């Protein structure tokens, strides 16, 4: 089982893709992850370091999350 996410930064236009593995015993949904976006601690673009999570809506417009079976 894997977790893929793509960042499309509005500030610099960079398109960055990530893929990680997660524990199979844990049931996750992309919407569940999106519901728990922390806006206090900055999540930044890996290219220009612009903050991606000023708000939940701002984060969701720049980051797409896919759970792979």
6-50, pLDDT tens digit by residue? 999 999 999 999 888 866 555 666 667 767 788 889 989 999 999
Tell me the pairing of strands 15-21 and 63-68: unpaired
CB 34 within 8 A of CB 43: no
Domain extent for 6:
2-68
Give how many domains the chain has, as a whole number: 1
1 confidence band (pLDDT: 50, 70, 90): low
HEC profile of 34-69: HHCCCCCCCCECCCCCCECCCCHHHHHHHEEEEEEC
Please tell me the pTM assigned to this model.
Answer: 0.73
């Amino acid at each position: 089982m894997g977790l893929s996410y793509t960042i499309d930064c509005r500030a610099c236009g960079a398109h960055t893709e990530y893929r990680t593995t997660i524990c199979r015993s844990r049931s996750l949904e992309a919407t569940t992850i999106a519901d728990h976006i922390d806006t206090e601690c900055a999540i930044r673009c890996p290219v220009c370091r612009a903050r991606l999570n000023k708000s939940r809506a701002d984060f969701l417009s720049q980051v797409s999350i896919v759970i792979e079976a």
